[in-house]
Structure 1
Amino acid sequence: MRPRTAVVIGGGITGLATAALLSREGLAVTVLEKQPETGGRAGSWETGGFRFDTGPSWYLMPEVFDHFFRLLGTSAADQLDLVQLDPGYRVLFEDTAEPVDVAATREGNIALFDSLEPGAGARLEEYLKSSEEVYAMAKKRFLYTTFASFLPLLRPDVLRSGPRLARLLLEPLSSFVAKRFTDPRIRQILGYPAVFLGSSPFTTPSMYHLMSRLDLADGVLYPMGGFSRLVSVISDLARAEGSRVITGAEVTRIRTSAPSGSRRGHFRTRRPRAVGVDYRDAEGKLVSLDADLVISAADLHHTETALLPENLQTYPESYWEHRVPGPGGLLLHLGVQGTLPQLEHHTLLFTRDWEANFEKIFGADTSVPDPASLYVCRPSATDPGAAPEGHENLFVLVPVPSDPTLGAGGIDGAGDPQIEKMADAVIAQISSWAGIPDLAERIIIRRTVGPQDFVADLNSWRGTLLGPAHILKQSAFFRGTNASRKVEGLLYAGGSTLPGIGLPMCLISAELVLKRLRGETGTEALPEPPPWSAQSWPAGLASSDLPPAGPHASAGPPIGGTDA
């Protein structure tokens, strides 16, 4: 029986994208978001004329965004004002005076690598050729599949590539790069994409060298208005399709029916089914919401261990004892007087002792690196709306251990002392490395965020910034499933489940929910409807069988909602 109603837990970009696709499919969808505003990790904070994105800031894999929009009958070009950054980003190296500006084009980066290491340009061409081949294979066979069946993977192209894929999975990215390049700057530029995956180049499989195709060949884009604009667009699309979004709604329980069906010995033949959720609304009132389908776009650890009883947990606490979290994060939002031409839109600061830096974050005995490899985003370099005239907007991300005991941040130095002390050190490091001696004195807005904030605001497992790290045992089908094995009608979406970390992966994750709903086990992205098609109904299902969807649907009353 196909579900008619659905509730989505979490109003981040994944939850909103999932709601939009399911509403277009014909379901009556309600999104429940704990915070007063939607966005989740891709949130925003505005004060004093500054507009800060509080999370993602790299627009990569543009074709994934465009495919998602086309599933909804529109396009990225219609919805966003995208500009290409040139240079794509700048890198500052410890004890090296000259920065390295990564070019906007493949040809420019081949020339750049040649200037850093004679002959490296030709080797980069081969490296990018390999990354493009692996990227194409990943998109066609591994990213858009739920792994509900492995039969679709038994294709000639996968079988032919088997030995090569095995080697790429077993060799770490750091070794793969080191075999091809000797200049430490190049090695760091090619190893850094592991951080986008919540991991270290010393443990990330070399299959992920495909990431270099994204920044070195395709270039880096930026949506004007920031990533909060992206969230706003997807939220508007979800609502236009008929989704109802409720903020200030903290889900406290996923409700399930008793198992049904005949008994065989001591076992029932049918599993319990998700029948809705309980949530506490903005006034503190407990509300019960019925639904045929429950999708959690919240942190998977929280979903399993806090919203379900132990006997219905596919991933109980014992499972997480053997998982490796991605890094935690120290975030700084800084409003600065005057201009900062020393920094590009994206600027990376890399320490000399690269491996030791990662060992402190991911090793057995963790500690905060000092100095730290870190990232600075200056959106005001591109987007005038990010800061008042004559001022700059800085977002700083410092990967740290995923340890909530490091503390929480605050505004104007009001965070926990350890967090504020770390922030002072980071500001001094940027000041020294980038040649901005008066940076600290020019800061007029300061906000810090620590790992404990990720726990409190996002229910993040161990305060991790991104989710489980993309090491071998936590990638592809090793990452788990997006459907509960113990509760029918309960699906998962977001960075802590399939296919993984990052905004493009979150949009694919939403599509995987739709594939589960349709019973689609293929490995390729869903076909895009023609621009003139209002709705593509699944085979055997007439539109009259479903509740209204699309821009004319009514938000209506709660789906079976009653006061508990």
Structure 2
Amino acid sequence: MRVAIVGGGIAGLATAALLARDGHDVDLFEQQQGVGGRAGSRSVGGFRFDTGPSWYLMPEVFDHFFQLLGTSSEEQLDLRVLDPAYRVFYEGAPGAAAPAPLDVRADTDANLATFEQTETGAGRALTAYLGSAREAYDLALRHFLYTNFTSPLALASPAVLRRLPRLLPLLTRSLEDFVARRFADVRLRQVLGYPAVFLGSSPDRAPSLYHLMSALDLTGGVMYPQGGFSHLIATIARLAGDQGARIHTGATVTAVTTADTARRRPRARATGLRWRDADGTEHTHAADVVVGAGDLHHLETRLLPRHLRTYPQEYWDRRESGPGAVLVLLGVRGGLPQLPHHSLFFTHDWHANFDAIFEGRVPNPASVYVCRPSATDPGVAPADHENLFVLVPVPADPGLGRGGADGSGSPQVEAIADAAVAQVARWADAPDLTERVVVRHTIGPGDFAEDLSAWRGGMLGPGHTLRQSAMFRARNRSSHVEGLYYAGSSTIPGIGLPMCLISAELVLKHLRGDTSTGPSPVPRPTAEVDHRRRRTRRSSQTGWSAS
């Protein structure tokens, strides 16, 4: 079939690659001049900044995706295990000295020992916690992530039914409560609760089923692809092109075109797109299938007429966005050994922190995330310099404004950035950090809204609360337009690069008529693929890339 894909983020690129490999005729349209979407990149003054995701988690999902394309993660990426996986800096209670930073290591036994040293009995409690997390993670991979929820009976497997007494409480209890019943020390609670932020939520809003995230970061699962996440995006774009997909950048889709079916449901069928090129010239593109792989709110409320919207504005008015963000990209002269690749800066009263974000106020101080990719990848900064990516969670509110170079962003965005950089300097004992900054660029919620068409300017998409998770999340097929599908963080299975890869596979399963709940079967390698793999391995050993 002829397939048109709207959006060139990781979900759109992955969908293009999978559908083209399955024999479809695929064109992808991206409004920006480059692909990547939220997983973008920016080069300034010899520094190369990833402007989006920076945690490589759920490696099994990446492995499976590459296998579906006849290759492997090993062939395509140079992955490094991070140790420490990350460092946590704490504010400390009012009037008290801040506790020493805590390192989460790549070794599970080391993390058990750290928990035990922090709180007597916490090592034993963490062993049980991680066992539960691994069971939940494995169950999710086999039964809840790779499904379109089109066949309820498919979910009623013996494995699911057998675990139902333990599974139901995980859906009705918050992650915060689940953690608090097992650990008393606030620092350990924060380490175990923070993964909710990766899901666009907070520990008191996310279901405790998401404690499964700890099966990843506390057991040696944090890696980094050399070249950064922009290299990951470029790799998937190249693979999509190798399969025959055509990628059009500077191509803004203005409408999904349809034809009436003379039936009540579906009311119409997709016939293609209208789009505008960089010169402002309008075009049409015929297609049998359209995949909206960008922001679902934008597609539904801007690209479809009202009577064909499965998710009209009224739907979004009742939904909860994940947080927005102010991003601060810093090029720094000299070293910063205080900061490993990933660092988290936790405020003591993070209830107030999260409440402020979800009630529309900027937290002060904020719990901040810092990535120093130059700790692992020398190619992201000039010699004797550091590359810092600072993320400040804020309300999803484009009214906070846009960022800019060298302090030229909106006053609110720049003030938030100033406070965050000063906070990192104090807590990490780098008092001269501000004076050593040679490159600075900020990105605000207004940029997410304008450049990425992000709903409410959010950095992630709809948060993973109970009624916005699994089968309760927006489905990935239009109820009113035959041949219109969705992929990306707005739809099932949800937020994050691995989830977006799965969402691409779910579109593939729809077109195949596959109602299974697990990953698609991996094709057996052909002799040609085996030869290419051997050639790639030989060339990588000599420093030459066959690609």
Give the AA of the match of 2:312: P
Determine whether 1:401 maps to 2:395.
Answer: yes
Q: Distance in 2 between matches of 1:270 and 1:39?
A: 32
- Contact map agreement 2:324 2:445 (CA 8 A) in 1: yes
Residue 60 of structure 2 corresponds to residue 66 of structure 1: no
CA contact (8 A) 2:266 2:481 kept: no
- Mapped contact 2:368–2:392 kept (Cα < 8 A): yes
Higher mean displacement: 300-309 or 159-168: 159-168
2:465 aligns with 471
Q: Give matches, 1:172-251, under 5 Å.
A: 172-251=174-253
Contact kept, 8 Å, 2:150 with 2:515, in 1: the verdict is: yes
Pair 1:39-2:33 in alignment: no
Which of 435, 438, 442 is residue 432 of structure 2 equivalent to?
Answer: 438
- Gaps in structure 2 of 5+ consecutive residues: 93-97, 530-547
SS in 1 for 2:218: helix
Find the counterpart in structure 1 of residue 507 from structure 2. Answer: 513
Match of 1:11 among 3, 8, 11: 8
Specify the SS of the correspondent of 1:303. Answer: helix
- Change in Cα spacing, 1:111 to 1:417, as seen in structure 2 (3 Å) is same
Q: Residue in 1 aligned with 2:536?
A: none
Structure 1 residue 258, shift from structure 2 partner: 1.6
Aligned position for 1:362: 358
CA positional deviation for 1:268: 4.6
Q: Secondary structure at the match of 2:117?
A: helix
- Is the alpha carbon distance of 1:293 and 1:100 closer, same or farther for their aligned partners in structure 2, counting shifts above 3 Å? same
Letter in 1 for 2:114: L
Q: Describe the SS at the equivalent of 2:268.
A: coil
SS in 2 for 1:41: coil
Residues 465-490 of structure 1, C-alpha deviations (whole Å, 9 max, x = no match): 10000000000000021000000000
- How far apart, CA to CA, are the structure 2 residues paired with 1:384 and 1:97? 31
Quote the offset at 1:115 in angstroms. 1.0
- Cα distance in 2 for partners of 1:489, 1:534 equals 34
8 Å CA contact 1:143–1:499 kept in 2: the answer is: yes
* Contact 1:493–1:506 (Cα < 8 Å) also in 2: yes
Out of 421, 425, 431, the residue aligned to residue 427 of structure 1 is 421
Contact 1:105 1:219 in 2 (8 A): no
Give the Cα separation in 1 of the matches to 2:220 and 2:152. 31
Please list, as runs of the form range in 1=range in 2, the aligned pairs for 1:454-533 lying within 5 A after superposition.
Answer: 454-532=448-526
What SS does the corresponding residue of 1:111 show, helix, strand or coil?
Answer: helix
- How much has 1:506 moved relative to structure 2? 0.4
Q: Give the match's secondary structure for 1:8.
A: strand
**1:479, 1:402 → 2: CA distance?**
19
Q: Distance in 2 between matches of 1:176 and 1:92?
A: 23
- Look up the match of 2:105: 103
Amino acid at match of 2:174: P
Deviation at 1:259, TM superposition (A): 1.6
Identity %: 59
CA contact (8 A) 2:176 2:204 kept: yes
Alignment of 1:96-495 (within 5 A): 96-260=98-262, 268=264, 271-363=267-359, 366-495=360-489
Q: What is the Cα deviation at residue 218 of structure 1?
A: 3.4
1:309–1:89: structure 2 CA closer, same or farther, 3 Å change rule? same
Q: Residues 266 and 480 of structure 2 are in contact (CA less than 8 Å); yes or no, is this contact kept in structure 1?
A: no
**Superposed CA offset, 1:142-191 (max 9, x none):** 00000112110111111122221110001000010000001110000000
Which whole-Å CA distance do the structure 1 matches of 2:67 and 2:259 have between them?
37
Cross-structure match for 1:26: 23
8 Å CA contact retained: 2:340, 2:375: yes
Question: What is the alpha-carbon distance in structure 1 between the residues aligned to residue 220 and residue 389 of structure 2?
Answer: 24
Q: Quote the Cα distance in structure 2 between the aligned partners of 1:270 and 1:379.
A: 48
User: Is the CA contact 2:108–2:218 (under 8 Å) kept in the aligned structure 1?
Assistant: yes
Partner secondary structure for residue 42 of structure 1 = coil
CA-to-aligned-CA distance 1:317-356 (integer Å, 9 cap, x gap): 0000100000000100000000001111000000000111
Q: CA deviation at 1:270?
A: 5.2
The Cα shift of 1:272 comes to 0.7
For residues 78-133 of structure 1, the C-alpha deviation after alignment (integer angstroms, 9 at most, x for no partner) is 00000000100000000324111111111111111111111111110000000001
Q: Using the alignment, how far apart are the partners of 2:182 and 2:167 within structure 1?
A: 18
What corresponds to 2:81 in structure 1? 84
Of residues 56, 60, 76, the one that matches 2:53 is 56
Deviations 1:355-406 (A, max 9, x none): 111110113xx21111100100000000000100000000011111111111
Contact preservation (8 Å) 1:14, 1:297: yes
User: What 5-or-longer segments of structure 1 have no aligned partner?
Assistant: 261-266, 536-564
SS of equivalent residue, structure 2 residue 191: helix
SS of 2:131's equivalent in the other structure is helix
What secondary structure, in the 3-state scheme, does the structure 2 residue paired with 1:375 have? strand
User: 2: distance between equivalents of 1:388 and 1:102?
Assistant: 28
2:251–2:277: 8 Å Cα contact kept in structure 1?
yes
Aligned position for 1:549: none
- The code of the aligned residue for 1:8 comes to I
Q: How does 1:541-560 map to 2 (within 5 A)?
A: none
Q: Alignment length, in residue pairs?
A: 524
Letter in 1 for 2:187: R
Tell me, yes or no, if the aligned pair for 1:7 and 1:291 is still in contact at 8 Å.
yes
Amino acid at match of 1:443: V
Could you tell me how far 1:210 is from its partner in structure 2?
0.3
Deviation at 1:219, TM superposition (A): 2.6
What CA distance in whole angstroms lies between the structure 1 residues aligned with 2:164 and 2:358? 30
Tell me how far apart the structure 1 counterparts of residues 20 and 220 of structure 2 sit (CA, whole Å): 33
- Give the 3 Å change call, closer, same or farther, for CA 441–270 of structure 1 in structure 2: closer
Partners of 2:206 and 2:13 lie apart in 1 by: 30
Are the counterparts in 1 of residues 81 and 220 from structure 2 also a CA contact under 8 Å?
A: no
My pick for the range that moved more, 145-154 or 190-199, is: 145-154
TM-score scaled to structure 2, two decimals?
A: 0.95
Letter in 2 for 1:153: L
Give the superposition deviation at 1:271: 2.8
Q: CA RMSD in A?
A: 1.1
Structure 2 CA distance, aligned partners of 1:145 and 1:105? 32
